[in-house]
A and B are shown apart, each in its own frame.
Chain A
Amino acid sequence: MPMNENEFKPKIVAFCCNWCSYAGADLAGTNRLQYPADIKIIRVPCSCRVNPLFVLRAFQRGADGVIICGCHPGDCHYTTGNYYARRRMTLLFSMLDYLGIERGRTRVEWVSAAEGNKFAETMNDFVSTVTKLGENKRLEDLRCANK
């Protein structure tokens, strides 16, 4: 695909749990599956490690979308971490929606270590959603915009 200078390239932060989704991303890589380079992966020990503040901070520093990937419910390396993360993120996303932030900018997806395909598909889909939404204006901190 030819690169257009003016084309909007979103900045996307993906929090991936060490045990499933990060390994899933690795598998996608070793299988040479394509997914956009706009995704910046941050490895966390468990999806439950993701503090709601991390999501907000990513937006503050200019992210256009934030995705959190963890093990499938029931498969958490720490047994129950993703169950807590699920409740937390549901409430946080609902609050962001309540404040008028576009729904497509946040997502939680369960990706296991064997699902390289799903990882690539999810990221492709998420990038296209966020690209359609355009630049994140509603949650950006102006002081951080050019850092």
Chain B
Amino acid sequence: MREQMISRACELLANGSVDRVIGWERGEFVYDVTPAVFNDAEDLKSRFVFDLFCGANLSKYLVSETAKGGKVLAFLKPCDTYSFNQLLAEHRVKRENFYIIGVECNGMADINRIREAGASGIKSISSAGDKVTVSTVYGDREFTLSDVIAERCSSCKSRHHVVYDELMGKDGEVLDSNRFDMVEKLEKMTPDERFEFWRGELSRCIRCNACRNVCPACTCEKCIFDNASSGFENKAAADTFEENMFHIIRAFHVAGRCTDCGECSRVCPAHIPLHLLNRKFIKDINELYGDYQAGAEVNERGPLVNFTQDDANPSIVNERGNG
């Protein structure tokens, strides 16, 4: 796949259809793959990677790329295409500035799960089909992809590319995913249990703002959380409520626009399951206002900038679920 991607990108750079390529490059470790911009064929051949750790959603980076002008080749996985569509809908990127190659994705690996499975001293990781081979200083370890797949990929919502100029590999289908299972489990708990659960999770927050920075839906240039007079721009929270407030507002700001790409949870250094907050909003929107998938259509009106005359009243919250 990597070779195929590089050769196609070189072709497009050579014939002048694109000026830059946005993809992934290796970081300090094999599993530290980060988004990167490539300017020429040499660059691509030396740095470009595509492997099980290319989970980063490139759509977010297209917002700043579109401002630089020129045409950019972007490799987008199915979930990234939803974010791209959503950005198009919000006029944050210009479609004509991008040449999109949709790349097939069968799920990305989570380095933490590989470590939990007992691999340490990792030297390199390779994969072929469903097999993941981790070579460590203590010898090789074999895993199947399903053992080490990222949580967000095991409950993948769709392997279908909603927008692309050309495809590499197969286009999948919208999946009947189990992504709301954990939300349902939480809803069935008593309020006290839920409170304890979230206090345990959110109190680990160090307010690094990584969830905001990586989120493809968070594209405001001036963010409320950077406002020094807001009272909650502090890096270190003085008490537990700071995190509650930050995370409720963060999730609320992307409610109805969140495509559920799961980047917030991936980048969280404290491993807080932030996607569960976003999914709660998505689940509520689906249940109360009809099924809605942000980014599936460009010309759709989002659920929070829309209404019907017979929407439920807020008191419906008291009638539903466990309270």
Interface positions, chain B 188-239, Cβ under 8 Å from A, are: 191-199, 224, 231, 238-239
Chain A: interface secondary structure? helix
**Chain A residues closer than 8 Å to B311, beta-carbon distance:** 73, 83, 86-87, 90
**Chain A residues closer than 8 Å to B252, beta-carbon distance:** 52, 91-92, 95
Is B288 an interface position by the 8 A CB rule?
A: yes
Q: CA A36 – CA B265 in complex, angstroms?
A: 45
CB–CB A87/B277 < 8 A: no
Q: CA A108 – CA B195 in complex, angstroms?
A: 23
* B207 to A: closest C-beta gap in Å: 14
Is B296 an interface position by the 8 A CB rule?
A: no
A90-B312, A90-B317, A97-B191 as given contacts; A83 in contact with B307, CB under 8 Å: yes
**Chain B residues closer than 8 Å to A140, beta-carbon distance:** 241
Binds B, one of A9-17, A37-45, A98-106: A98-106
A87-B303, A100-B198, A143-B238 as given contacts; A93 in contact with B317, CB under 8 Å: yes
Binds A, one of B53-61, B63-71, B165-173, B242-250: B242-250
Is A27 an interface position by the 8 A CB rule?
A: no
* A19 to B: closest C-beta gap in Å: 18
**Chain B residues closer than 8 Å to A34, beta-carbon distance:** none
CB–CB A100/B193 < 8 A: yes
CB–CB B248/A108 < 8 A: no
Question: Chain A: residues with CB nearer than 8 A to chain B?
Answer: 52-53, 56-57, 59-60, 73-74, 80, 83-84, 86-103, 106-108, 138-143
What 8 new A-B contacts, CB under 8 Å, besides A73-B309, A94-B284?
A: A52-B252, A60-B245, A83-B309, A84-B304, A93-B314, A100-B191, A103-B191, A142-B238
